[in-house]
Amino acid sequence: MKELISCLHKVAAVNQRVEHENRLVNRYTARDFTPFRFISWSEVPSTHMLAFFLDPDEDHGQGPIFQELFIEELQKLLPAGIQLPKTRWLVEPERRHTDYGQLDLLLSSADRTFGICLENKPRDQTRDQPRQLTSYRELLLHRHQQRYLLLYLSREKREPSHDSLDPKLLQELTADGHYLNLTYRNFILALLDSWYQNVHPESLRIFLRQFRHQVEQWLQFESTKPAQLMQDQEIAATLASSPAYVQTAFDIQGALSALRAQLLDQLSKSLTARATGLIGDSHWKDIGFLNTTPAKPFLLRRPSPNGSPQSLPWGRYAIGLEFDGKRLFYGIRFDKANWYQDDTTAEESWSPEAPTAFGTLLGTGARPWSWWVWWDWVGPETDQDLYPKIAEGKVLEELVSKIGSLTTALDSYCGSS
């Protein structure tokens, strides 16, 4: 314990010194300032940001240079003999295409004979929707016959869900040059570097560097921010100065999983204490929508008046809180099966009008997904930022008001008083 306290004091002293030095540098350079701190960052804003640079007509003023570099990088990844058209491309972000679904990003050649669809999946735990990529391919086939490219952009290399695109078909499309799995780590970061090196306006170069730093922080890649690099190097040097400090550092790393679990448990208990008229507990069986650790969803319900699960005022509905490995999400969950211990009833689905009804009651529009009739994120984007906010109580305060709105919506929809 003495070594632990000594190590923490040393690291705290290094942090204070580095922060002081960075403040002095920032006074003259503002190198840590970024407009991204004012943006609620997620998959959709990242798609729109990429679309902004890929569109030659946007007010970055660089014409097709970003688009041309993007196409050049794609061309390097395609099988020999497959050529992308050297043309200007029409860029359409986040647009619904009738029954084919809402495509994250669609690029169409100027003569509309070739199409490129990009599905943006930055979160490792985010699943595809059933037939999602299959539907996108059908749209490309309908419009462009065999002249198309389907891009799956993920944090690290991964395959789409089997119910999104059949594995055998995926192999065929890859071999034929119709499918590529791009990654943020190897493709997007390199693309941003290429864009940075090929433009001259300083304002754009600064923004592109900030864009890269935002992606690094968001997806928890190694940081290239000068201040972060300096801090990491100084702390590493301090820890390396003593074998006891090295051992302590690895001991602390090993305790982080237990720390995360304890903080989430404290959050759940505090939320239950603040949720008047509700009872809370982890799901008795379900390992969670995203199959993560800690896994079980935490549920809040109106208590049964007679103690019987079948008499729960909200029935199979509950307010849920779940951790996806890096972020928290909450919402209205519907237990299709196993909604109480020893449940042997047949699996049920929610009423078709439920997502729209809840969206209207909450003033947000319908947001269904799997066993969640309505859901949303809560708290910071990364676990490095999330857990300190939980410890400070800020996530609890944010959730309390949201839980109140969900309780009112469930009471209204389920006829509770």
What's the pLDDT tens digit per position in 266-302?
A: 999 999 999 999 999 988 887 664 444 445 789 999 9
Pull the structure tokens for residue 23.
């403040």
Q: Which helix (H) or strand (E) segment is 318 a member of?
A: strand 317-323
Q: How far apart are the first and last CA of the chain?
A: 53
**pLDDT confidence band for 85 (50 / 70 / 90):** very high
| Cβ–Cβ under 8 Å, residues 82 and 177 | yes
Averaged pLDDT of the chain: 88
Amino acid 58: pLDDT: 95
pLDDT reported for residue 60: 95
**pLDDT for the residue 71:** 96
Per-residue model confidence as pLDDT tens digits over 162-209: 999 999 999 999 999 999 999 999 999 999 999 999 999 999 999 999
This prediction's pTM: 0.67
pLDDT at 14 over 80: no
Q: Residue 143: which H helix or E strand, with range?
A: helix 132-144
- E strands, 76-217, are 89-96, 102-109, 115-121, 148-154, 179-183
**Residue found under tokens 């941003």:** 192
- Output the pLDDT for position 290: 45
Residue 313 contacts by C-beta under 8 Å, 6 or more apart in sequence?
Answer: 301, 302, 304, 305, 411, 414, 416
